[in-house]
Amino acid sequence: MSKGTETRNRIIAKAAPLFNRKGYEGCSMQDIVDAVGLEKGSLYGHFPNKEALAVAAFEHAWSETSGARMANMDTVTNTIEKLKIHVANVVSLPSFAGGCPLLNTIADNDDGNPALKKVARNALKEWHVYLQSILKDGKDKEEIRAGVDPEEVATLMISLLEGAMAFDRVDRKLGFLVQAGKHLNSYLDTVAVQL
């Protein structure tokens, strides 16, 4: 890896938690300069503008987050068990510094930065398609009941998990995410083919 690539990756890694915590408008290039220890001109040597850096930072944060959420899913073959591992990962693994980057970016850029809104929308779509593909595979293997709609189940899972994360940000002691995880595990049992 070239020195330029290493520096670019270091900038992204330092900027990602800042953007995730402070949002696009709240994070200044000076904040990033201070965190990285480079001159502002050096940042612009790697990124044409703040928006390009914010997009790269989101992609980095989301890659780490989604990688953690999918950890160990390949250790089981049963569809329901795969999905339960996914739920457990979302509920129990520490989130990226500052919280879920998808939730933060969607909330921060609903009416704001179109480039960030676009990458967040793409990340959400990829997650949705990923869960749907697991559910479709489960139907093909006759582990999921025939009448179950994979798109609806994927939508429910994402909505419940992300919504619970948002509520936990307001009042963590109530444990919305843990409750959502328990509910999803029970729900997933109802979509399974009963032997």
Residue 37 lies in a domain: no
Q: What is the pTM of this model?
A: 0.92
Residue 39 lies in a domain: no
Q: Per-residue pLDDT for the chain (195 aa), expressed as one digit of tens each?
A: 788 789 999 999 999 999 999 999 999 999 999 999 988 888 888 999 999 999 999 999 999 999 999 999 999 999 999 999 999 999 998 788 989 999 999 988 777 789 999 999 999 999 999 999 999 999 999 999 999 999 999 999 999 999 999 998 888 777 899 999 999 999 999 999 986
Structure tokens at 39: 């001159």
Q: What is the CATH number of the domain that holds 82?
A: 1.10.357.10
- Number of domains present in the structure of the chain: 1
